[in-house]
Amino acid sequence: MRVALVLCSLLLGFAAVADETANIDPAALLKRIESKDASLLVLDVRTPEEFAAGHVPGAVNIPYTYLPARSAELASDKDLVIYCATGIRAGRAASRLRENGFTRLLHLDGDMTGWADSKRPVEK
């Protein structure tokens, strides 16, 4: 019973973090990428190996574990679209970035799994 309560608390906490970051649909992101939208920065928070295997075109890779030390590399005046494989690391990254003053955060709906499954272009 206690384990179930802890798991529910963790899931509710993650849902609260995810709710604070608006989602962007893959089609809408692709349109902005194709139009070379200068107000956009796409951030992949997966490992370098995952990134090398394929990523959203034009994305920069700062693994979630390196984010505290490298967040100064990100422009806070752009719409920052964050994604990982399935959403867990992206949610945590959004929370960390928000703590560091980033306000223009978006989460890629479906993350990389959804992007690839919907046959969107993938860079290697």
Distance CA 123, CA 95 (A): 27
The catalytic residues are 84
Contacts of 116 (CB under 8 A, 6+ apart): 54, 122
Burial of 104 (C-beta count, 10 Å sphere; 0-12/13-18/19+): middle
Any idea which residue has 């370098």 for tokens? 48
Residue of 27, 59, 61 whose CA lies nearest to 45: 61
Residue of 23, 3, 21 whose CA lies nearest to 98: 21
